[in-house]
Chains A and B, each alone.
Chain A
Amino acid sequence: MDTLPEGGFDMAMKRYSAFAVARHAMSYHLGWERAWGSPAPKKKYDAIIIGAGGHGLASAYYLGKNYGITNVAIIEKGWLGGGNTGRNTTIIRSNYLQDPSAAIYEKARSLYETMSQDLNYNVMFSPRGLLMLGQTEHEVRGYKRTVYANNLQGVATEWISPQRVKELVPIINIEGPRYPVLGALYQARGGTARHDAVAWGYARACSAMGMDVIQQCEVTGVRTEGGKVVGIDTSKGAIDCDKLGMVVAGHSSVLAEMAGFRLPIESLALQALVSEPIKPCMDVVVMANTVHGYMSQSDKGEMVIGGGTDGFNNYTQRGSFHHIEETVRALVETFPMISRLKMLRQWGGIVDMTGDRSPLISKTPVSGIFVNCGWGTGGFKSIPGSGWAMAELMARGHSPLAEEFSMYRFREGKFIDESVAAGVAH
């Protein structure tokens, strides 16, 4: 314990386990300690990550775990995991079309498989199976192409018949008049995880490595000298750094503006909603992209529903009502039994959309500044892979996983077109 850096936590002493639960039961569970520290910022860090959401925390975690860089601060304007990490529909899959996407999303999915053990934090990864319904002839063709591509990429997906869909999802109506189910792209090891736990688990692990997670600290400026980053200004004072990672999703353009460059990104509102809890009725994730809706059932019994994005630039974290109506209308046709369900909550998040629906993990025009953004509507599933690649890029200057996701690919015309696989209507 003596050798721990200031603000650090000794994970070995506070390892979570069944034994720890039993031991703490002896003292009426009053002995549990904070999972991560709340330090004041130091004067200087080797690396600063802006954004303590899943992607930012994962980037910091792999900087420490894979490259031994632990003099790191993760700066958060609001609270930990309070942005899109806490606002998504928790779906995990890797059935993308293009090779660079399949590589990074499958890396992420495979890291989710062991994340609870790796972080000693139960993220409740549930590879329950995921279906993307084919409801038009064009969609069927598109998804079959994706299945063939996935098989070549080593991503286990298959095309299944409407009857098989009905067996997996008894509550579905496969003979809808407008959009019959013609089959589905099925990824058996896709599923969901507890989104908050992913952020909390990474934060705890980062804190244990001696990193500073600094919440309620807004970045107000980025300082550069001779084209190189030297530090940031924040609401808690100036902090110096050698390397800076911007991992702020919907606010990426705002930070880029502070650093003096532009990104190929627009910020849009994406909405989701949950129903009242009901008895278990669907143990897979179903995405119906033609009708812009996707649904899964949470462990609490709520039906978790995601919708489409608004078409206009928006930073308000609330979306347009008619999108909810369209989403629910379409899902009621596909799942008639949900028509009587009451919806409990609805919320929005600001997604950072690129032109080709693929992310940016990239160097920038300012030396020492790296961006990890543009995950758009599909960020949660990619958190571990994104952090893995971002850490490699920041530590070594290049990363095979991130190579194709440079922000300069638009200039070069090397798009990674995932407008089909991204799933959500834009």
Chain B
Amino acid sequence: MLTLECPYCGVKAEETELQAGGEAHLKRFGPGSSDDEFEGYLFLRKNPKGVHFERWRHAYGCGKWFLAARCTATLEVFGTYSAQTKEPPADLQAKIKAKRPDWEGYK
């Protein structure tokens, strides 16, 4: 069973307590953007087999959205972090790189 630690309230929550929210760090596009930009933001997903950055909500806990780095091929969780970030923290990226030397890096 998948267990993620909520970075806000510190609770180690198992997945029935959480709600998955899909790929993290999507760049949002507003009025005046091109069709390509809208399509990419709204529908196209990286959906990697391996390291995935994603949004989660501590639905039956503090109710807040947070972000997690997780391997979709093994379900290993690398870490969770605040949603108020533009990209994964450098120390988390270094940790993932150490565990997954083949990982091509964020983006």
A residues near B, CB below 8 A?
251, 253-254, 257, 262-267, 310-316, 320-322, 355, 410-411
B residues near A, CB below 8 A?
1-2, 15-16, 19-20, 22-23, 35-36, 38-40, 42-49, 52, 54, 70, 72-75
- Give the distance in Å from the alpha carbon of A311 to the alpha carbon of B18 in the complex: 10
6 contacts between A and B (CB under 8 A): A253-B45, A253-B49, A264-B43, A313-B47, A315-B49, A316-B74
State whether A410 and B49 are in contact (beta carbons under 8 Å apart), knowing that A311-B19, A314-B75 are contacts in the complex: no
Beyond the given pairs A253-B47, A267-B72, A312-B15, 8 more chain A to chain B contacts, judged by CB atoms under 8 angstroms and listed by A's residue number, are: A254-B48, A257-B46, A264-B44, A313-B52, A313-B72, A314-B72, A410-B43, A411-B38
Sort A-B residue pairs by CB-CB distance and give the 4 closest, nearest first. A253-B47, A311-B20, A312-B20, A264-B43
- Give the distance in Å from the alpha carbon of A251 to the alpha carbon of B2 in the complex: 22
Number of A-B residue pairs, CB cutoff 8 Å, is 69
- Give the distance in Å from the alpha carbon of A355 to the alpha carbon of B42 in the complex: 10
Main secondary structure of the interface of B (DSSP, over half): mixed
Closest to B47 in A: A253
Q: Are B54 and A253 in contact (CB under 8 A)?
A: no
Closest to B52 in A: A313
- Give the distance in Å from the alpha carbon of A324 to the alpha carbon of B11 in the complex: 25
Q: Are A316 and B44 in contact (CB under 8 A)?
A: no
Chain B nearest Cβ from A24, distance in angstroms: 44
- Give the distance in Å from the alpha carbon of A312 to the alpha carbon of B23 in the complex: 9
- Give the distance in Å from the alpha carbon of A264 to the alpha carbon of B43 in the complex: 5
Chain A nearest Cβ from B17, distance in angstroms: 11
Report A-chain residues with C-beta under 8 Å of the C-beta of B22: 266, 313
State whether A355 and B15 are in contact (beta carbons under 8 Å apart), knowing that A253-B48, A266-B22, A312-B20 are contacts in the complex: no
Report B-chain residues with C-beta under 8 Å of the C-beta of A311: 19-20
Report A-chain residues with C-beta under 8 Å of the C-beta of B23: 266, 313
- Give the distance in Å from the alpha carbon of A334 to the alpha carbon of B70 in the complex: 37
Q: Are B75 and A264 in contact (CB under 8 A)?
A: no
Q: Are B49 and A254 in contact (CB under 8 A)?
A: yes
- Give the distance in Å from the alpha carbon of A266 to the alpha carbon of B23 in the complex: 9
